[in-house]
Amino acid sequence: MPRFPSSNARTRTQPSSSPSLSHSALPPPRKRLCGPAPYIRQIRNPQAMDSTILAEMRDCRAAFLHCMASEEGKQDFAVRWEGALQRFVDAAEAGLLSEGALRYCYSVVASVNVIASTLSDYQTAAAQTTESMVHEAQAYLKSNTPSSYAVARGQTAAQSPRSPPSQQPSELLLAPYRRWFLNHFAFPYLTAADK
C-alpha cells in the first residue's frame, strides 16, 4: 500500500478555523508586530501634534497641582498621567514633536517628578518623626518617671530657693492707698466727699 495517495485521487480540503477569511478573494490580514501609536495614525501634521501634546501636558500639570492642593482625584490623575507620558514618548520617538515642544514637555515631566519626590520625602520624614514621638511617649508612659525636662527644672529650682520678695520703695509709698482700697472694696472708686 502506497504511503501517499495517487495523483488522480481526490483529497478533501481541511476546513479553516475562520471560514470567512479562508476565501481566496479576500486578502490575507496584515500582521504587524507593533502598530503605530494612536496619535501617529490620527495626526500626520507635526504642528498639530505639537499643539495636541502640549495641551495635554498643560492639562496634566494643572490636574497635578489641583490634586496636590485638594487631595482629590489622585487615582484619576495617575491613570491620565501615565497615558499622557506614553503618548508623549510615542510621538517623540516617531519624531513628530518640535524641539520647543520636547523642551516644554520635558520641563513639565521634570517639575512633576521633583514635586512628587519632594512631597514623598516630606511624607516619609513626617511619618518617621511621628513614629519616633509615639515610641518616646509610650516609653515615657511605661517608665512612669518624670521627663528629663521636669527633672532638670526641679534640680535648678532646688539649687536656687526662692527668696521672699523685697519690699520696694514704691510699695511702701502705695501702702496707704492699698489699705484704703481694701477697706472700701465694695465701693472701690472715690466719692465726691472722699476727694
pLDDT one-digit tens code per residue, 68-111: 888 788 888 889 999 999 999 999 898 888 899 999 999 999 99
User: What is the C-alpha separation between 33 and 92, in angstroms, rounded?
Assistant: 20
Most confident of 63-72, 80-89, 169-178: 80-89
User: What is the C-alpha separation between 87 and 105, in angstroms, rounded?
Assistant: 11
Residue 45 domain flag: yes
Contacts of residue 158, Cβ cutoff 8 Å, sequence gap at least 6: none
Give the whole-number percent of the chain exceeding pLDDT 90: 22
Residue 104 burial (C-beta neighbours within 10 Å; 0-12, 13-18, 19+): middle
Residue 188 domain flag: no
Residue 60 burial (C-beta neighbours within 10 Å; 0-12, 13-18, 19+): buried
User: What is the C-alpha separation between 120 and 26, in angstroms, rounded?
Assistant: 57
Note whether 125 and 87 are within 8 A (CB).
no
User: Residue 105 belongs to what domain range?
Assistant: 38-143
Give the whole-number percent of the chain exceeding pLDDT 70: 58
C-alpha cell at 68: 496636590
Alpha helices of 21-168 — where are they, by DSSP H? 38-42, 46-70, 74-93, 99-143, 148-159
Note whether 73 and 66 are within 8 A (CB).
yes
Structural domain count of the chain: 1
Residue 116 domain flag: yes
Neighbours of 111 (CB within 10 A): 13
Which residue is listed with cell 514621638? 133
Residue 149 domain flag: no
Most confident of 30-39, 94-103, 159-168: 94-103
Residue 9 domain flag: no
Residue 108 domain flag: yes
User: What is the C-alpha separation between 81 and 85, in angstroms, rounded?
Assistant: 6
User: What is the C-alpha separation between 126 and 190, in angstroms, rounded?
Assistant: 61
